[in-house]
Structure 1
C-alpha cells in the first residue's frame, strides 16, 4: 500500500480515519499553455500558465521552484490610478471544477537569477507547489520578450 507522507502522518496522529483516501491537490490540477517570457540580460523572467482544477475541493497554489532559477515567486500585476504595480502574493486559489490563468498583466511567476542563460525555444521545468505539500512538475517553453 502506498501513502503520501502527509497522509501517513495524519493517519499516525489519528487525524485521518484509516479508511479515508486523501487525494493530493496536484493530482486534480492540469497545467496548459505554460510559457516563460525571457527578458534580456539578467532581468527576471515571467512565467505564465493556465491551471484547471478538476477536483471537488479548492486547490491552493502557494509557491514554485525550478533548478533553472534561484528563486520563483508568485506575483500579481495591476494598474492603480494609471500606475502599473506588482506585488508578491502568498497563494492563489483554484476553485473546484474551475481554472485560473497566470497571464501577462495579472498573476504570474517571477523567475529570478537564471542558473544559466535561458533562450527562446528552451524548455524549463518548474515545480508548482500546493498548500497540502503536493507538487505538479510542469514544462514551460521559453519565448522572446515580445511574445504575448
Structure 2
C-alpha cells in the first residue's frame, strides 16, 4: 500500500469511527431524554369516589406520591365523567365544619399527601352519565411541572367506605 493510500485508508476509518461514535452518543442522548420524559415524579394510588344517590355531588379521594426532588402543586382537576371537579378542604370552626375551595395542593419532595375524608377532597358535580358503585371514573390531575395523571377512581357506595 502506498503512503497516500494508507493515509486515505486511515482517514476513512477515522471518519467511520467518528460517525459510529456520534450515532452512539446521539442514541444515548435520545434514550436518556426518553427515560427522563417517561419517569414521572408524581404518582397516584388508592383512588376512589364516594358515590351518593339522586345525582348528588360525589367526593373523590386519592394519595399523591412525589418521588422527585422538588415539591409539586396539584393545580387543576378535570373529568370526562363529571361537569365539575374541584379541590375542596373541610375546615373545622369549633363545633361546625365548612368546605372551602382550594386553588392548589402541594405534594412535598420525596413525600405524599392524602386527599382523604375529613380533609381535602375532590368535589365532583354534574355527572355526565349514570354512575353507580362498581364503576370506574377518570380524573385528570394536572401539576405545576406540567405533568398530568389520567387516574382511574373506583366508585364506592357510602356503606363500602366506612
Same fold at TM > 0.5:
yes
Q: How does 1:32-111 map to 2 (within 5 A)?
A: 32-111=45-124
Distance (whole Å) between structure 1 residues aligned to residue 73 and residue 123 of structure 2: 18
- The one-character-per-residue Cα deviations of 1:41-75 (angstroms, maximum 9, x if unpaired) are 12110000001100000010012111100010000
RMSD over aligned Cα atoms: 1.6
Query: What count of residue pairs does the alignment treat as equivalent?
Result: 126
Distance (whole Å) between structure 2 residues aligned to residue 31 and residue 86 of structure 1: 23
Instruction: Flag the structure with more relative contact order, 1 or 2, with Cα contacts below 8 A and sequence separation at least 6.
Output: 1
Name the counterpart of 1:130.
143
TM-score, structure 1 as length reference = 0.80
TM-score, structure 2 as length reference = 0.74
Distance (whole Å) between structure 2 residues aligned to residue 134 and residue 54 of structure 1: 13
Higher-strand-fraction structure? 1
Shift of 1:81: 1.4
Shift of 1:145: 2.0
Structure 1, unaligned runs of 5 or more: 1-20
Higher-helix-fraction structure? 2
Structure 2, unaligned runs of 5 or more: 1-32
SS in 2 for 1:27: coil
